[in-house]
Amino acid sequence: MHTVMMVYNLKKGITLEAYKKYSLEVDQPLVNNLNSVLEFNVFFILGPEKTWDVFETILIDSWEEFVKETETDEMLEADREWRQWIEEDSLKIVYGEKV
């Protein structure tokens, strides 16, 4: 089992409320529907240091399976849509395993 961790900022002019609606109605249902995903959590960063706006954790059973599932046409289109919400230069993605 691995955890994918992502941090990023929203594009200027996009409110947390608007992104929350998109996340709950579009992004989270889609990601949670992937076979490799066991749990998906999205957090708004409140402080004390606010380097990013959003922190995500995705618990997966296989990195390879997760990558394969995210390379489908449907997921690539969803990724393009999601990137319209975020500042791509701020995006950091890592994955690891719990100690």
Contact between residue 3 and residue 69 where contact means Cβ atoms under 8 Å apart: no
Question: What confidence score (pLDDT) does residue 46 get?
Answer: 93
pLDDT in tens, 53-77: 999 999 999 999 999 999 999 999 9
Evaluate if residue 5 carries a pLDDT over 90. Answer: yes
pLDDT category at 88 given cuts 50, 70, 90 is: very high
Q: How far is CA 70 from CA 13, 15, 35, 50, in A?
A: 28, 26, 11, 29
Given CATH 1.10.3720.10, say whether it is the number of domain 2-96.
no
Indicate the domain borders of the chain.
Answer: 2-96
pLDDT in tens, 28-61: 999 999 999 999 999 999 999 889 999 999 999 9
Would you state the structure tokens that stand for residue 7, as one six-digit string?
């941090």
Nearest Cα to 14, choosing from 84, 77, 79, 80? 84
Question: What confidence score (pLDDT) does residue 49 get?
Answer: 87
Question: What confidence score (pLDDT) does residue 80 get?
Answer: 96
